[in-house]
Amino acid sequence: MIKKALVIGGGVAGIQAALDIADGGYQVILVERTPSIGGHMAQYAEVFPTLDCPQCILTPKMVDVGQHPNITLLTYAELQRVSGEAGNFKVEILQKARKVDHTKCTGCGTCWQKCPAKVPSEYDAGISERTAIYIPFPQAVPAKPVIDTGHCRYIRYMEFIEGGEEGKKPPQCRICEQLCPVGAIDWEQEDQIVTEQVGAIVVATGFDLMPIERLPEYADDPDVIDGIQFERMLSPGGPTTGVVQRPSDKQIPREVVFVSCAGSRDPEHGVPHCSRVCCMYLAKQAMLYKHAVPDGQAHVFYIDTRTTGKGYEEFLQRTKDEGTVYLRGKVSRIFRDGDKLKVMGVDTLSGKQVEVSADMVVLGMAMLSSEGSKELAARLGIATNEQGFFTESHIKIDPLESTRPGIYLAGTAQGPKDIPDSVAQGSGAASKVLGLFAQSESTSEKMVVS
């Protein structure tokens, strides 16, 4: 039995699982695909129903991960291969080349302030830009940059020279290298394979939002945005510093329409499942919008309001009481009509067609399993459902165990869920790992009872 765990995914579920296992006295390797842990939760403005700022409640946990003596953090890394069995897995992890020597780098920030190559920011969901050498957001852990080799000018230049291509030479930039006070830029750094042995694996790879393009009835328009983009806009640390302004012309939107079930519960256009969190986050966003623009009007189209968590029903009621109009019905079409967006839908309670003129539309896009989930499942030898969410050993009584002993599930990788449920699952999966490690011998059978 190797009493060391691998946690895949550094969102809130993975962070919680890693911290709990580490606090339980065992070594943990936390692998995160992007340059920083934090996951989607770090993108949100405020979280329902308490309206806590996630920076305040998540960043301490991120800091704990970075500082915990039992946690080895591998960001910008992906799981490549797994062999072995519960108690003794051999894993190969691809550490992507950062082109920055993190043992030298101090995170001073000079490089990313001066880098001339601009790329849409993943953290800001595309509504702002980052540089090619970057940390995803100021509170990133680790707060040391990586070079995005797909967009770095110098790397493009080198490829151009080596490829012997025709045409105009790209500029040979190297500004970061010249400015770095400690000489941390390392153009020679290559991808590396890290091999580790672990006894248990927790899969917490999270979710992605369905791209808006998958719903062509809803206009391809800068003012039609998804929920995460609006979170970034509402966030005091976001690109608009919390000022609500529509992307097209930076005007403050006076009328905003929120559309629930954009892709969810819609087997023909999207996915059959319910994404569980949209009802609540749209209610929250409508409330925050009304706080930011008190004379603004918010409309929410919904099919069923699904506010089943502790304090959620009361929260929804508050959103309605504060003046947001709820319309029960689907939106058939969104299109631009001059300065306004037209939202055509139906109010099934009055049986009438409604048309709302809006300055901005926020789509509660369906939650999908995160990109690459099915490939990861194949590498791990565990099952997923059609949508790529990992399958639990028994949906009722073993919700945190995968279909393979020694591999556990946490958070939205298993299915859409909100933050408390993800945190509880992170802890629950950690409990499974601690239980496994408490056994003296590894067995590929289940424990006395799981």
Partner 1 sequence: MARQVRIGVFVCHCGNNIAGTVDVKRVVEELSHYPGVVHAEDYMYMCSDPGQEIMKKAIREKSLTGVVNANCSPTLHQRTFRRVAEAEGINPYRVEIANIREQCSWPHMGDRETATRKAIAIIKAAVEKLRLNMELTPSVTPLTKRALVIGAGIAGIQAALDIANGGYEVVLVEKDICIGGRVMQLAGTFPGMERPDYLLASRLAAVTSHPRIRLYMCSEIEEVSGYVGNFDVIIRQKVGYVDKDRCNGCGLCLEKCPVSVPSEYECGLSQRKAIRIPFPDMAPFNPVIDAEHCLRFNGGQCQACREACPEGAVEFSGEDTLIEENVGIIVAAPGYDLLPAGEPEIYPEDPDIIDGLQFERILSATGPTGGEVRRPSDSKVPREVVFISCVGSRDPEHGVPYCSRVCCMYVAKQALLYRRAVPDGQAYIFYTDMRSDAKGFEEFVQGVMDEGNILYLRGEVSRVFRDGDKIKVWGVDSLVERDVEVSADLVVLARAMVPRPTTRELARRLNIASDEHGFLTEAHIKLRPVESLTSGIYLAGTAQWPRDVPDTIASAEAAACKVLSLFSREELLHEPTIAFVDEEVCSGCGQCVASCAYRAIDIDEGRAVARVNEALCEGCGACAAICPSSAVQLRNSTPRQFFEIIDVASG
Partner 2 sequence: MSYYPGCTLKTKALNFEASAIAAMAALGVNLVELPRWNCCGTVYSMAEDDLAHHIAPVRNLVRVSEQGSGKVVTLCSFCYNTLKRADLLMRNSPEKRDAINAFMDEEIDYQGDVEVVHLLEVLRDDLGWEEIAREVKVPLEGLKVVPYYGCTLTRPQEAAIDSVENPTVLQELLRVLGVTVLDFPLATECCGSFEIVSRPDSVTERAYAILGMALRKGAEAIVVSCPLCAHNLGQQQPKIAEKYGNFPGIPIIYFTQLLALAVGISPELCRFDLNFGEVEALLEKKGLLPQCERSGVGE
β-partners of residue 71 are: 28
- Residue 157 in contact with partner 2, rule: CB under 8 A: no
**Integer distance in angstroms from the first to the last C-alpha of the chain?**
17
Partner whose binding site includes residue 265, from partner 2, partner 1, none (CB under 5 to 8 Å by kind): partner 1
Residue 334, Ramachandran bin (φ over 0: left; ψ between -120 and 50: alpha; else beta): beta
Q: Where are the alpha helices (DSSP H) in 52-96?
A: 54-67
Tell me the closest approach of the beta carbon of residue 138 to partner 1, in angstroms.
Answer: 6
Tokens of 386: 């059609």
Any idea what DSSP says for residue 47?
B
Do the beta carbons of residue 227 and residue 364 sit within 8 Å? yes
Looking up tokens 């990133």 gives 140
Do the beta carbons of residue 16 and residue 61 sit within 8 Å? yes
Partner whose binding site includes residue 338, from partner 1, partner 2, none (CB under 5 to 8 Å by kind): partner 2
Which is closer to partner 2, CB of 217 or CB of 304?
A: 217
Tell me the closest approach of the beta carbon of residue 25 to partner 1, in angstroms.
Answer: 4
Residue ranges in 67-126 that form contacts with partner 1 under rule CB under 8 A: 67, 106-108
Which is closer to partner 1, CB of 24 or CB of 227?
A: 24
- Residue 219 in contact with partner 2, rule: CB under 8 A: yes
Which residue stretch of 152-160, 178-186, 335-343, 436-444 sits at the interface with partner 2 (rule: CB under 8 A)?
335-343
Do the beta carbons of residue 380 and residue 405 sit within 8 Å? no
Which residue stretch of 19-27, 170-178, 215-223, 250-258 sits at the interface with partner 1 (rule: CB under 8 A)?
19-27
Partner whose binding site includes residue 128, from partner 2, partner 1, none (CB under 5 to 8 Å by kind): none
Q: Is 56 exposed, middle or buried (0-12, 13-18, 19+ CB in 10 A)?
A: exposed
- Residue 231 in contact with partner 1, rule: CB under 8 A: no
Do the beta carbons of residue 88 and residue 1 sit within 8 Å? yes
| Stretch 340-369: interaction string toward partner 2, x if CB under 8 A | --x---------------------------
Tell me the closest approach of the beta carbon of residue 272 to partner 1, in angstroms.
Answer: 5
Which residue stretch of 106-114, 183-191, 213-221, 225-233 sits at the interface with partner 2 (rule: CB under 8 A)?
213-221
- Residue 216 in contact with partner 2, rule: CB under 8 A: yes
Q: Where are the alpha helices (DSSP H) in 202-259?
A: 227-234
d(CA 307, CA 318): 12
Q: Which residues bind partner 2 (CB under 8 A)?
A: 216-217, 219, 332-333, 335-338, 342
